[in-house]
Each structure stands twice: as structure tokens, then as C-alpha cells.
Amino acid sequence: MSKIASALRSSPRTHQCQMRTLALLLSGSLALGLTPAHAIPAAPLPYNFGGRDSPHYDRLTLSLFADDRGYHDLNITRDHSPTYGDRSLKGADGRPLLPVTQLELPHFVEASGNLPRWLLMKDRATGYLMTVCTGTGCQYRIPVIWTQPVLDRVAAEMGRVMASCDPQSVECELEGVEWAMTIMEAQFREKLDRMTDSEIHAYMVTNAYHDPFLQDCVDQVYNGTAYLMILADAGLMKLFKIYYPGFTWMHNYTRLQAPNGSVIALDLYHRSSGVGTGALVTAVRDPLDGAI
């Protein structure tokens, strides 16, 4: 962690030459969070369930990205195509499940409130609602609500990881965020595994050509950015700002900005290992050095 730590502490003028790719070795899966029987478990990281509109991101700018109106057109909306929907399935209001017509960046919802009709009745809950992209190129848009019990697991893992470092330091928070994003991917996979074929089909864009258990960088740049928004709103990420996603001719990835202005890539791209396998999301130097 020392090389990236040096870059995070340095000025923007010096970070380019000091920052090097951080490669953390994952010797297991999320089970690494287990502690010996005699050890005292680390306290979960405290957070504000229900927090919203964090100053650590610009929702308008990120909304332009999610709607293909920003700096680069990824066609993440697939020409603004809707999903199928399904009249045999019940939406949140008891009427037929409607198609998803646009991507939904995270926002806090109440189970007793007016929820979108493209959310399944059985998924009504209080928490942070977003659509998760999967199937490559966001060919499936799966609504997920991060409830308090779900975020409790994220906070517990962050607390475990950050117990061995100074939680007020950017290096320590970054390590916690890496693990948080890893767990949130795995939590989405748990949701996907519970869904029926008809439910998955309802959230598929017309004529999708992959199954939902495959993702590419378009899926993961959107998901990663949205996961960070939830962490920021809930107060689980306090030092970093969410930066406009990185775009090259070959790849797209999520980015963060440290307090000193350094820009970091947090790449969720695990296509070779499937969706939500527990492969650790690691921070690396932004190859674009913050360029839009």
C-alpha cells in the first residue's frame, strides 16, 4: 500500500511519477473476513442509513453519464431501449410489471412510498434503489434495493479491514472502499441467483444476446459508480469524491478523486471470473491522469 499511499499524500504535481499500480493479492474469497475464535471481532464501520445527496459527488453530471448525454457516449442505454416488462408479474403497486425505460442511479426510497412500477412487488423495501447493469452493455437492468441489513454486511467488512489502519487516512478508507465494492458485487450476484427466469427476462432489453451472468466494462463502470454513490450517501466513504468515469477507446472504468486531487481508477472488470465472485476490486493509478 505504500506506493499508492505516497501518491495520495503528494501534490497533483508529483503524483504521476509516484503513483504505481496497486496489486493486492486475494488469497481467498470473502471468507477472509473470518477471525480466529479467540479474536475480538472488529466493530462495523458506523454509517448513516438514509443519508442522501452527498457532497462527494455531482448527481447531475453522473446522470448525464448514465443517460449517454455526458462527455462520452457508451450507448449504455442501448439507444434508450426499454426492457420487456411482464404483465404476468406484479409491480410494486400490484399492477403489471412495467419495463425499465431508463437507468436509475441510487436514491433512497421508503417501502411505504410510491415506488417505480418496474420494481417487483416482492422487492418493496426501504433502502437505496438502483438499477444494476449486467449481460454486457447493460442488456439487463436489474433493480436492487440496498437495505439496512445488506449495508450492515458492507459496514462490517469495512470495519474489519480498516481496524488495522487509521480510518481517518485516505489509504485506509481506500482499502475499505475496495472491499465494500467487492461485497456489493457479490450481493448483486446473490440477488441474481434468487431470480426466476421470467423475472430475469422481464428486465432484459429486447434481443439481448448474452445471459445476465456475464458483464463487460460498460456494465461495471456504471455499477461501480453507483455503488460508490451509495457508500457516499451512507457516510461509508468520507474522504474521496466520485470522479467522472474513465473512457478510452478500449475500456471504461470507475474513478475516485483523493483530497489532494489525485485521480484513482477502481476497476470492477472481472469478466473472466463471472459476476460477483469475490474477486477483489483493487485501486490503481488512473491511466488518464484525471483527463475527461
Report pLDDT digits (tens) over 234-251: 999 999 999 999 998 889
Q: Is residue 88 part of a domain?
A: no
- Look at residue 95 and tell me if it is in a domain: no
Q: Which of 25-34, 50-59, 185-194, 220-229 has the lowest mean pLDDT?
A: 25-34
Contact call for residues 83 and 134 (beta carbons, < 8 A): no
Residue 263's pLDDT is 97
> If you average pLDDT over every residue of the chain, what do you get?
87
Q: Return the amino acid letter for 111.
A: A
Does a structural domain hold residue 27?
yes
Q: How far apart are CA 170 and CA 168, in angstroms?
A: 7
The length of the chain, given as a count of residues:
292
Please indicate, yes or no, if residue 89 is contained in any of the structural domains: no
pLDDT in tens, 124-150: 999 999 999 999 999 999 999 999 999
- Average of per-residue pLDDT across 198-226: 94
The amino acid at 60: L
Asked whether 266 and 242 are in contact (CB, 8 A), the reply is: no
Over the Cα atoms of the chain, what is R_g? 19
Under the banding of pLDDT at 50, 70 and 90, the label for residue 36 is very low
Instruction: Enter the pTM of the model.
Output: 0.88
Q: Read off the pLDDT of each residue in 63-77 and give the average, rounded to a whole number.
A: 94
Element (H, E) at 60: helix 59-66
Query: How many folded domains does the chain comprise?
Result: 1
The pLDDT value recorded for residue 179 is: 96
Q: Tens of pLDDT along 262-281?
A: 999 998 876 566 788 888 89
Residue 37 has pLDDT above 90, yes or no: no
Q: Is residue 239 part of a domain?
A: yes
Q: At which residue does the C-alpha cell 471504461 appear?
A: 252
Q: For position 33, what pLDDT does the model report?
A: 40
pLDDT confidence bin for 42, thresholds 50/70/90: confident
Amino acid at 57: Y
Identify whether 119 is part of a domain: no
pLDDT of residue 38: 52
Note whether residue 36 is domain-resident. Answer: no
The single-letter DSSP state of residue 93 is T
Beta strands in 8-156, from DSSP E residues, in sequence order: 86-90, 96-97, 107-109, 127-134, 140-146
Contacts of 280 (CB under 8 A, 6+ apart): 24, 26, 178, 179, 182
Q: For position 250, what pLDDT does the model report?
A: 86
Residue 211 placed within a domain: yes
DSSP letter at 31 equals G
- Domain of residue 172 covers 2-31+41-82+102-112+124-285
Has residue 6 got a pLDDT over 80?
no
